[in-house]
Amino acid sequence: MKKEEKNVGHFKVIFLGLAVAGPEEEVRLLKGLQRKFNLTPERAESLLQRVPIVVKKGPSKEEMEKYRRVFEEIGGKVRLEEEEEPLPEPPEAPRVTSRETAPEAAPEGPHVTAHEVPHATTGPAEAQKKPYTGRKVTCPQCGFEQPDTDDCLKCGIIISKYRKEQEQVRGLEGKIREISSEEKGTAWEGGEGFISAFLKTARESLFSPVRFFRKDATGKGYWTALIYGLIVGVIGWGVSMVWQWHFFSRWFPVPVFSAIPYNLHLVAMTVALPFLVILSILIGSAVTHICLLIVGGNKSGYQTTFRVICYSYSGHLFAIIPFIGSMVGSFYTLVLTIIGVREGHGISTGRAVLAVLLPFILAAGLAILAAIFLPLFLGGMRFFGGVGV
């Protein structure tokens, strides 16, 4: 008998709430609490809201196991712990007030009889216990302070797993910021310094065209893109004309070059060149967009096509290379246009190629037809003319 009194209170059952989260499981647990422990709906709801809570202390582990099985049958989650002497509950732990009497077991409970009733420990003797002086841990999610365990008694998370996930999230913050900065648009439209923004935009459009057009082709506005296209177009075309003039005037001294003063020719081309570039951009974007409509590739509107044409003019910067630069720049501008149309309108590569090359295909077809039928037509006219002589 003395041995039993010595072991009283060595085990306790802590009710933690739902075993599986969900509205159906919550209804099942509330009905089970009412049925197994003769609780009213209000008291069952109050008990569920006050978890974690100690519902029973007993002298033997076998007796506490009965309560755990009952709670698990109705969808509850409990923890069976062995107390150390002295082991008070943490001061911050939720407790059942004196008005909340412990649930009483229903007669029909399969494992708990009427005298095996879980009681919340809130008597005066508990208040007289010494404060817990052992090692404590604070839950990183809810801030609840408790004895050093890996499971939070209040919110139920696994503390070590939660901290590991937070470290992984912090490791991705740098990459997320980098992606967010890329999605803001080009450096040319981002308010950076003129020279640095121009050089950065030219570098990205020339050497990372897929990423560049994916984030910027569908941007907003015409003017900034037009100004950029005008600048690179004037640079590319202007340098190309200088190289061509130097080449032809040196190797083919045609009298026309001596008839027109060089300074006058340079001034005339300098004045006309910006207007020619703008006209080329407007005509090129209009023709390309019409071809997109023909092939069914217009997904983002004319503004996207216009911006693609403007930024594709970066390819003309290759004209600074003597002699072959103009040809390389023209070809690469065509490649950039195809990539920009594909990424900006979200269409396949084949459809983008067809839309961009359709004017050249039509021109080549007309040239072939002219080469075939024009001699026949002219020959027929000569034939009829010979008959009339």
Tell me the pLDDT tens digit for each residue of 356-377: 999 999 999 999 998 888 888 7
Q: Which residue has the higher pLDDT, 244 or 177?
A: 244
Distance (Å) of CA 219 to CA 195, 336, 365: 21, 17, 36
**Per-residue pLDDT at 107:** 42
**46, 40 contact by CB (below 8 A):** no
* pLDDT at residue 275 in the model: 94
The verdict on whether omega for the bond into residue 52 sits within 30 degrees of 0, i.e. cis, is: yes
Considering only CA atoms, give the Rg of the chain. Answer: 42
For 38-100, where are the alpha helices, taking DSSP H only? 41-49, 61-73
- Residue 227 is predicted with a pLDDT of 93
What residue spans in the chain does CATH classification 3.30.1390.10 cover? Answer: 2-130
CATH 3.40.50.300 fits 2-130, yes or no: no
> Which residue would you say has higher pLDDT here, 114 or 153?
153
Residues 146, 79 contacting (CB under 8 angstroms)? no
Q: What is the Cα–Cα distance from 249 to 270, expressed in whole angstroms?
A: 19
Question: What are the Cα distances from residue 282, in Å, to 300, 304, 305, 313?
Answer: 18, 13, 10, 12
pLDDT on residue 59: 64
What's the pLDDT tens digit per position in 147-184? 777 777 777 778 787 787 777 776 665 555 554 445 55
Confidence of residue 3 (pLDDT cuts 50, 70, 90): very low
Instruction: Provide the whole-model pTM.
Output: 0.50
Residue 298 has pLDDT above 60, yes or no: yes
Is residue 8 very low, low, confident or very high in pLDDT (cuts 50, 70, 90)?
very low
Can you give the pLDDT at residue 389? 42
Side-chain half-sphere CA neighbours of 322 within 13 A: 3
- In the DSSP assignment, the letter for residue 190 is T
Res. 304: pLDDT tops 60: yes
Instruction: Kindly tell me if the per-residue pLDDT of 131 is higher than 80.
Output: no
Torsion of the alpha carbons at 192, 193, 196 and 201, rounded to the nearest 10 = 50
Cα 247 to Cα 37, 69, 175, 250, 365: the distances in Å are 102, 96, 50, 5, 33
Better pLDDT: 118 or 76 = 76
What percentage of residues in the chain have a pLDDT greater than 90? 27
